[in-house]
Structure 1
Amino acid sequence: MTRRRRAVAFVSLFALLVLAVAASGCAQTQAEEKDYWRELPPGAHALRKITDPAQIPDFTRAFSDTARLDEACANSLNYLSKPSAAQFFPVSGISHEQVRLSLQEFRAMLAGGLSAAELNTELRRRFDVYTTVGYDNQGSVLFTGYYTPIFEASLTKDHRFKYPLHKLPPNHVKDPVTGQTLGLKRPDGSIDPSYPGRTELMQSGMLEGQELVWLADPVEAYVVQVQGSAILSLPDGSRLEVGYAGTNGAEYKSLGLEMVKRGMLKREDLNLRTIMRYFRQHPGDFEAVVAANPRYIFFQKNSGGPYGSLNEPVIQMRSIATDKSIFPRGSLVFVEADISARGTKERLSRFMLDQDTGGAIRAPGRCDLYWGVGESAERYAGRTFNEGRMYYLILKDSELERLKSRVER
């Protein structure tokens, strides 16, 4: 899984309070009282089928805006067509075949010329609706946002551009299927699993010669680390897309939350802009704070992205990031929430595809919305910190059997 996450790739996020260097926004006092990051008990499923029709949401509004929805479905189907995809199923009781056929039939519905109201009726007739159990076992989900930044950079180091993004070390070893970091290969061919943390990597000199590109601002370089990908404007006017290549395997720790802990920012003021403003006013504080996060991300040149953890392009407000250990990859999802991304709360009722992973997205009550590329996406992602609901849409067993019998004939 090269190019893995992201538009903002594997670490995603703005999350954890909208985590990470980033983009949290509008953290509310209720976040201190609610455990949005509560993990599932061993063996528990993240999804629960809704059996009461009265609890199934109305999808009509979502069908009134289907821009790029078919494209997003096609991206998921392309991923599911790869032999390696099947090994990650079943997840929460959902099989690879269920997800694949559900997407195929949903695309056919979209292309059938039905009205939004008719599509709503057809979807409710043919699809089962699964709610995530959420952080509270009642389906409540905290939505945050992520995006792809655009920063100035250079392929060569000079007096201005002196903060590097690094390529993978040549002795880096990862699982060829999952992309999980295994360690560093020793001269005798064995693997050392004790990968150095961020501070040791930067101070040891082991990354010298592995510089991919240089940025002008250490905080911007860290934002790229958090987001996992970026579009970089080079001095000659060209642009370079960089994306996730791997990690040192250390657990992610939020820079933003570390700043709150140290009294540098108030939780309610935590967002990407306030973080960057603080360190530009207090540059001497940056290295000490960033050292609290041992995770380090490596990059590679990309094109055609940004990409999610499925190694498929992510699409603005059609792609989401969830915990892929408990949610079925590539699935069709319906998101319903009051989102404050544009300054005031607006009702979001939208079909999206589960196509990405976040380092801070590790629970059934967490989801990251992909807001796109650039400054406006940064603003929207940074302000997204709202509760809502998330539903997975899977063909009913009777529909699956009908499709199978049709193929057999």
Structure 2
Amino acid sequence: MTSKAAASEVEYSILEFSDLNGWEQDDHAAALGVFLNTCQDMDDADWRALCALAGDQTDAKAFFELFFRPVLIEDGDDALFTGYFEPELDGDLYPSTRFRYPLYRMPPEARAARQWLTRREIETGEVMQGRGLEIAWVDDPVELFFLQIQGSGRIRLPDGRHIRVGYAGANGHEYRSIGVELVRRGIYKAHQVSAQVIKNWVRRNPFEGSELLHHNPSYVFFRKVTNVSPEDGPRGAMNRSITALRSIAVDKRFVPLGAPVWIEKGGAAPMRRLMIAQDTGSAIKGAQRADIYFGTGDAAGRAAGRLRDPGRILVLMPIQRAYAMLPVDAY
């Protein structure tokens, strides 16, 4: 049975598990394992109670069906799936003629401000100079730009060691898509744009490419991550490692971090599976918006960069919490 309620232009629909396309075929145990990675960090008592129960389950599918209900949350925008990954860049701990593009820690004045300097002002001005805020230097400004979009990554040092960096904050300016800007300028059609296409265009057009990167005023600062092993995924917004093809980034105004989320992604490679909302992103805005984590490295990057698909997103909410989202007259 489906129930609907509208509040502040947001619609909530409670569905049955039989309404979920592909639910029977998924690996629910894999999803439960990822859920257990972060559910103990959720704030509310009902989530923590379910987390305690989850650790004793031998039938993951039955656990989700018994204690949750799928909720479709709609805000008027179409569903959109994109992908992200953990980039791996070549860099060094010291600047050189090759490694001359710095990754910065967040300066205190940026953290204190609601909105600080723009990307152009940070990269072309002197405000960051001589302050020891550099974590590392890399050899490619385009890869650094996309590292900021991803929010975390690894730097491969000349001696073969790696350092991992994570999101530390941003300058407070709204994210602007440079892919959308290339379409607006008539350089590409929307269906032609991918991360690799953008990178190639910027490298072929150095001056115009630099200006294109500055079209996005948002700028991300990093922190060095020392407590995550190389075998684990990067830390997401819940400060726990995320899992390839089981973790997604969501808009936490609509989806609680740590919640199970059923995705029905269309496109050339349909995906039907239970994911866990363990991350956020500055470009992830809306109730039907999700960014799928694909893993680390170039292959994951190619898969993530091609993804821009429609579909449907349903949040698995604890039963009482699901029905509490509806007004009384919706029953």
Give the aligned partner of residue 290 of structure 1. Answer: 213
Which residue, 255, 267, 283 being the options, matches 1:360?
A: 283
CA contact (8 A) 2:73 2:254 kept: no
Q: 2: CA distance between counterparts of 1:194 and 1:371?
A: 31
Which is bigger in relative contact order (C-alpha 8 A, separation at least 6)? 1
Which residue, 159, 164, 188 being the options, matches 2:97?
A: 159
Residue by residue, what CA displacement relative to the aligned partner does 1:230-266 show, whole Å, maximum 9, x if unpaired? 1111111111111111111111111111222223333
- Matched residues, number: 310
Q: 2: CA distance between counterparts of 1:325 and 1:359?
A: 12
Alignment of 1:188-267 (within 5 A): 193-209=114-130, 210-267=133-190
How big is the shift at 1:75?
A: 2.2
Q: 2: CA distance between counterparts of 1:198 and 1:243?
A: 18
Give the aligned partner of residue 324 of structure 2. Answer: none
Give the aligned partner of residue 72 of structure 2. Answer: 131
Give the aligned partner of residue 50 of structure 2. Answer: 102
Q: 1: CA distance between counterparts of 2:85 and 2:65?
A: 32
Give the aligned partner of residue 20 of structure 1. Answer: none
How big is the shift at 1:47?
A: 4.0
Give the aligned partner of residue 75 of structure 1. Answer: 37
Share of identical aligned residues, percent? 31
Name structure 1 gaps, 5 residues minimum.
1-40, 81-85, 87-95, 174-181, 184-192, 399-409
Amino acid at match of 1:267: A
The 3 A distance-change label for structure 1 pair 364 and 394 is closer
CA contact (8 A) 2:255 2:315 kept: no
SS in 2 for 1:312: coil
Residue by residue, what CA displacement relative to the aligned partner does 1:354-376 show, whole Å, maximum 9, x if unpaired? 11111111111211111111111
CA contact (8 A) 1:320 1:356 kept: yes
The 3 A distance-change label for structure 1 pair 171 and 47 is same
Give the aligned partner of residue 328 of structure 2. Answer: none
Matched, 1:301 2:224: yes
SS in 1 for 2:310: strand
CA contact (8 A) 2:9 2:76 kept: no
The 3 A distance-change label for structure 1 pair 317 and 104 is farther
Q: 2: CA distance between counterparts of 1:275 and 1:55?
A: 38
Q: 2: CA distance between counterparts of 1:332 and 1:148?
A: 22
Alignment of 1:320-339 (within 5 A): 320-339=248-267
The 3 A distance-change label for structure 1 pair 302 and 53 is closer
CA contact (8 A) 1:147 1:374 kept: yes
Amino acid at match of 2:302: R
Residue by residue, what CA displacement relative to the aligned partner does 1:25-77 show, whole Å, maximum 9, x if unpaired? xxxxxxxxxxxxxxxx9745564322x675355522113x633x344212222
- RMSD of aligned C-alpha atoms? 2.5
Give the aligned partner of residue 61 of structure 1. Answer: 25
Matched, 1:395 2:318: yes
Which residue, 125, 140, 143 being the options, matches 2:81?
A: 143
CA contact (8 A) 2:68 2:319 kept: yes
Name structure 2 gaps, 5 residues minimum.
1-5, 322-331
In the superposition, the TM-score normalised over structure 1's length comes to 0.69
